[in-house]
Chains A and B, each alone.
Chain A
Amino acid sequence: MNLLDIVLFLPLIGFLAVLFAPAASARMVAMIIAVAVFAVSLGLLAPYWYAQPTGWQFEHTAPWISSPAINYHVALDGLSLWLVLLTTLLTPISVLISWSYIKKQTSLFYAFLLLLEFGVIGVFVSMDLFLFYVFWEISLVPMYFLIGVWGHDRRIYAAVKFFLYTMAGSVLMLGAMIYLYNVSGTFDYVTILNGLRTGKINLSWDAELYLFLAFFIAFAIKVPLFPLHTWLPDAHVEAPTAGSVMLAAVMLKMGTYGLMRFCVPLFPGPARGLAPYIAALAIIGIVYGALVAMVQPNMKKLVAYSSVSHLGFVVLGIFSFTQQGFDGAVYVMLAHGISTGALFMLVGYLYERRHSLEISAYGGVATPAPWLATVFMITMFASIGLPTLSNFVGEFLVLQGAAFKSIAWTATAGIGVILSACYMLWLYQRVFLGKTSEGVADHMNDLTFREWAAILPLLVMMVWMGMFTQTFLPAVSVQNRQILEIIQPKTGQTALVLPAIAAPNRDRQGADPAPMRDRQVALTNRPDGASPPAIPLTAEVRNAR
């Protein structure tokens, strides 16, 4: 029983506690548990505070099912660390924004929120494929109910669509996992990875391709990658605010996390082979999502399509197979979680006041509610990718990484950045600026204390992530470098040896982080001949300061 187990199972205990608590105190119990989980989860930072360890942290293995051999195996690394923290941060915030908005069946609502947290954390820390699948599906059930019971008008359609889309993709992943078990005799991720690396597990090219596709489709639906994205606008629009926040900020990351953790390292051959096509889909998603977002009359739908666009960056970064692309992908994942989560919250605030999601129902909101307008503006700038705010760093790195592969990728994807400014600024103009109509003025009061309390942590994070990249990047980079080394084309390598990383960077705020420089060297020495980075990575970080 270590810290990670506690972080994982506390929400489950909370789920039961809330379920059986009296309805009136449900939200209080949920809040206490969610805050407690967040507080405990901060402890997970400890190994990463002064160093960038490469191995698994908080590893815990316990036998679960004897035959077939399935273990409860959880562990944390630089990739999952921040995603777990993002989840634990957003859950109490989701409880807070639902405080007065959710009126019917309240205990069930908060119980499902905590069950969702349990499932999502489980996805991020599972090191056993079977366990991963278990959590992957478990997270589906509470979200289905959150959308279906507490959503807007077309909630049932959206909930069923969400469930079926994900289910259809993930059953094939289950088949692929069983196949992997049958050839390797284990569900353990690390064992399979090492087996594939050393050639102990031999897959034919066909088998590898089909396995890759089975995993990839499951994850691509979740991301969602164009053209599998159609469930997302429905689910986002119909979900209650807390549901949208969790869906956008955390659940979509399950897909991209899966790509980075399983799809690419386990099946590097097909991943490399198909990378141009996947990158093309990602770029189409970036531009298409942005264009469609621009013409949406519904605020939530606009933000939903902007998610399609942002997540396209993540996929592009991953399938560029460069250090910058990987780092950027993770950074966009985190930054998108914060900024889009905040956008959904703010749209929710507007909805609670005016009871409409149509942009045309608003106008001149800035006059009666200046603070709301200010907060929205900061969030919007973060989402657009303004330097000094969170998304900029990630998108910059992704574009840089993509440029090493093809300058055309970067150029086309860059259109998405420009378009994001178009649709967000236009949205802001139509909602917050201009003449205040009477209908708006009557309803619009400024942010309440509770709303401030919910949004403030996210604002802080946006600035922090934009200014102090070094808080987050080292742990991630170390992990990404390891993944990149794993997926280098096989030239008769030996067993996966965890690469020793430069000496711990003790001065976290230091001007010249050592790992970054090391990485440049690693990149120039790559056998596959990827061009070395033209722009020193640290330049961007300095700019950001």
Chain B
Amino acid sequence: MPANYIPESVEYIRILPEIILTILGVIIMLMEAVFTEEQKKIYPYVTFAGLLAAVFGTWIASNNAGLAFQNMLVIDGFGTFFRYIVLAVGLLTVLCSAQYLNRAKANSGEYWGLILFSIVGQSIMVTANELIMIFIGLEISSIATYILAGYLRDDRRNNESALKYFLLGSFATAFFLYGVAWIYGMTGFTNLSEIRRYLLTADLSNSMVLVGSAAALMLVGFLFKISAAPFQVWAPDVYQGAPAPVTAFMSAGPKAAAFAMLIRVFLTAFGPISDRWEPILWVIALATMIVGNFAALRQTNIKRMLAYSSIAHAGYVLVAVACHTAIGTAASMFYLASYAFMNVGAFAVVTHLARKDEQYVEIDDLAGLAQRQPMTAAMMTIFLLSFIGVPLTGGFFGKFYIFKAALDSQFYWLTVLGLLNSAVAAYYYLRILVVMYMKEPGESTESLEPLSGGLLIAVATCAIATLVLGIFPSLVLDVAIASSNFVK
């Protein structure tokens, strides 16, 4: 970047959501210093309003699409799509969190500030067009999420979760950074488009090992963030230990953002060597589905089970990524959007169920929910059916479209094995349905208060969104298809 570089004003508009969220996050941190306990109750509202403003900002930014800051950021349809996803996850998380934090008597400014900063980081990740920017976004998002995972610092499970997440996460990020260093050494660029141009034109016959290793090192970092096998071991422990709303947040938002950057880096920068990484992703996608689904079969803790299920779903998305086609990209975008809703919805129900100190997080604690709270059970059923992939839910159409992309790319075996995997997965989701509908109410559902306030809005929104994505997928799919060809 030249020393006398002065950005144009439109470039600031292109990062409007990040600006809004950063300023708001700082303001909330300042409020924390001066507010009384009573005044702190407005945090969720402020955060929610700020996120809504950021949604608006994203819309304005998308109308001024283009490159920004010397090609370091690219605000295109793809990035905008994922910006909307992470903001939606943020909005839903805010709705889920307020009651939880009040119950834990832990409503303080850091929580809301960290949520906002994490979203800023994700928002940068999905629009970054340059490896250093990706790294910065990744770190902003990750560090905020590490702290959030251990937010209730008196709870030992939280501490365990945060420590594991932090240690393994830093390790993985180091791999990514190492890969960046290699590729910079090789090509002299960190800009994705420049790297692509270099790899397309240069003679790689002697340096393929180096380029391939650099790509592999970066892939390790990405696969860790999306919890793909064999880098998935942290996910169950971290998801189980973290506060339920935080789990909802990190299993949807950062994951979607990590997928966005994986797709962008590998389809743009490493697009020219796709024949090298395609078989690797093929294997990893299959391994991820198998590990996630088969490990989930035997879980008794619902958070842990959903953690394994989220590993399995990462496997489905990887199938679409491995296709490295526009339709594959569109399929993964659609799937991540619908997954965000069903997953946050399911975790919102878990948040509702867990209550103080998360004492009710076993699958059996859902016993008889259908008799005590039919509406809650019905909405949870929608999420579970969507996880299974029953038609008229977003999950089904997403899966359908992923396997369509896979067949387009002639991944016959991957399709067959993936489809059979989704039949295996049905078993553990059905177990929850069994417990909710076919068991007599137990002590935990007897004492459960009705769903109310923000949680109710969050769960209902997710349920409606899941159904809408399943019945009218074109609403989102057309956008995804239109923005699946990003700037290269």
Contacts and interface: CB of A to CB of B under 8 A. Distances in A.
Given A133-B391, A182-B408, A145 B437 contact: yes
B478 A172 contact: no
B385 interface: yes
Nearest to B423: A168
- Most chain A CB atoms below 10 A, which of B391, B422, B472: B391
A156 B439 CA distance: 9
B438 A67 contact: no
B347 interface: no
Interface stretch (A48-56, A134-142, A491-499): A134-142
Contact of A68 (B404, B420, B426): B404
Interface stretch (A30-38, A159-167, A307-315): A159-167
Interface in A124-183: 130, 133-135, 137-138, 140-141, 144-145, 148-149, 155-156, 159-160, 163-164, 167-168, 171-172, 174-175, 178-179, 181-182
B379 to A, nearest CB: 13
B419 interface: yes
A149 B438 CA distance: 5
B474 A67 contact: yes
A503 interface: no
Contact of B422 (A141, A149, A171): A171
Contacts of A1: none
A156 B374 CA distance: 19
Contacts of A148: 433-434, 437-438
A105 B370 contact: yes
Contacts of B277: none
A138 B481 CA distance: 27
Given A156-B438, A171-B419, A175-B415, A66 B427 contact: no
B477 interface: yes
A148 B433 CA distance: 10
A108 interface: yes
Contact of B400 (A138, A167, A174): A174
A133 B420 CA distance: 16
Nearest to A151: B438
A182 to B, nearest CB: 5
Contact of B419 (A108, A135, A141, A175): A175
Interface string A263-307: 000000000000000000000000000000000000000000000
Contacts of B438: 148-149, 155-156, 159
A201 to B, nearest CB: 15
Main SS class of interface, A: helix
B392 A134 contact: yes
B26 interface: no
Contact of A174 (B403, B408, B481): B403
B451 interface: no
Contacts of A141: 385, 390
Given A67-B474, A148-B438, A160 B430 contact: yes
Given A156-B434, A171-B419, A174-B419, A163 B407 contact: no
A349 to B, nearest CB: 25
A24 interface: no
Nearest to B371: A105
Contacts of B422: 171
B473 interface: yes
Given A134-B391, A138-B391, A175-B415, A149 B437 contact: yes
Contacts of B472: 65
Contact of A137 (B390, B408, B481): B390
A425 to B, nearest CB: 37
Contacts of B27: none
Contacts of B370: 105, 108
A168 B420 CA distance: 6
Interface string B470-483: 00111001100100
B106 interface: no
Contacts of A145: 437
Interface string A368-385: 000000000000000000
A179 B408 CA distance: 8
B23 interface: no
Given A178-B403, A182-B404, A65 B473 contact: yes
Contact of A67 (B392, B416, B477): B477
Contacts of A137: 390-391, 396
Given A65-B477, A134-B391, A164 B403 contact: no
Interface in B384-429: 385, 388, 390-392, 396, 400-401, 403-404, 407-408, 415-416, 419-420, 422-423, 426-427
Nearest to B438: A148
B408 A164 contact: no
Contacts of A105: 370-371
Interface string B159-198: 0000000000000000000000000000000000000000
Nearest to A183: B407
Contacts of A172: 416, 419-420
A67 B478 contact: yes
Nearest to A147: B438
A167 to B, nearest CB: 5
Contacts of B473: 65
B451 to A, nearest CB: 17
Given A138-B391, A175-B407, A175-B416, A167 B478 contact: no
A179 B391 CA distance: 18
Nearest 6 CB-CB pairs, A to B?
A134-B391, A171-B419, A168-B423, A148-B438, A178-B404, A137-B391
Interface of A: 65-68, 105, 108, 130, 133-135, 137-138, 140-141, 144-145, 148-149, 155-156, 159-160, 163-164, 167-168, 171-172, 174-175, 178-179, 181-182
Given A66-B478, A145-B437, A148-B434, 15 more contacts: A65-B472, A67-B474, A134-B391, A137-B391, A137-B396, A138-B391, A148-B438, A156-B434, A160-B427, A160-B434, A167-B388, A171-B423, A174-B419, A175-B415, A175-B419
14 contacts: A65-B474, A105-B370, A137-B391, A138-B392, A148-B438, A149-B437, A149-B438, A156-B438, A160-B430, A168-B420, A168-B423, A171-B420, A175-B419, A179-B407
